[in-house]
Amino acid sequence: MGRGASTLLAAVAAALTLPLLALVLNLPWWLSLTVALAVFGGVWLVAKPGSRLGHGLTDDAVLDARSATAQGLLLEASSALDRLRKVRREIQDAPMRAEIANLLEVGDKVIREVREDPGRAMAVRRLLTFYLPNAASVADGWRTLEARAVPSTTRMTQTREVMGGLSQAFAKYADDVAEPELQTLDLDLKVLKDALKADLSNTP
């Protein structure tokens, strides 16, 4: 394949990737653009003269794209965690501080596991890009309520309820981050059960 054709193919792949990530998966535009550029580079490397296009993207290109996605998600999530940590230090209400501490613990755990294995990132994308930033915003709102001479009882009640819901969502995604291992376990169990069934049924 000629250099011009490989560039065109890479551009088409990137052009398809950008709206898919930004509009369908709701990733931030800057992150979608980063991944699209990684896709462009990967496809171009594979399709350029001398490459074997029929074999698709190389393992390195796939890993690079996956790593770029994970790094972008982690950058946004880490920023939200820092905001949440800072706000917690300024909150006076003990139950709310404990609620936020739980969110921080779970968020740190998920981020640590995604750093160790970038392939986990998409399973917890919504936590990293939606729930974490919004948890920081809600905590900041609570701090504002505390600063008022007469805080709104209704708003404080609603904020506590939302924080409780966020704790449940965080716990769910903490489980989801382990899904790849569970899928592997399911496959291993199936293979072993089939093997044991076959071997034991042939036992004299």
**Could you report the per-residue pLDDT of 153-162, keeping only the tens digit for each?**
999 999 999 9
Rounded CA gap, 53 and 180, in Å?
Answer: 29
Answer whether residue 137 is part of any domain: yes
| Residue 46 banded pLDDT, cuts 50, 70, 90 | low
Please count the structural domains in the chain: 1
Answer whether residue 43 is part of any domain: no
Answer whether residue 107 is part of any domain: yes
Rounded CA gap, 21 and 37, in Å?
Answer: 12
C-alpha count within 13 angstroms, C-beta hemisphere, residue 139: 32
Q: Please state the pTM of the whole predicted model.
A: 0.60
| Residue 83 banded pLDDT, cuts 50, 70, 90 | very high
| Residue 95 banded pLDDT, cuts 50, 70, 90 | very high
Residue 41 is predicted with a pLDDT of 63
Answer whether residue 118 is part of any domain: yes
Rounded CA gap, 66 and 53, in Å?
Answer: 20
Closest of 47, 34, 43 to residue 61, by C-alpha = 43
Contact 118, 67 (CB under 8 A): yes
Answer whether residue 4 is part of any domain: no
Answer whether residue 123 is part of any domain: yes
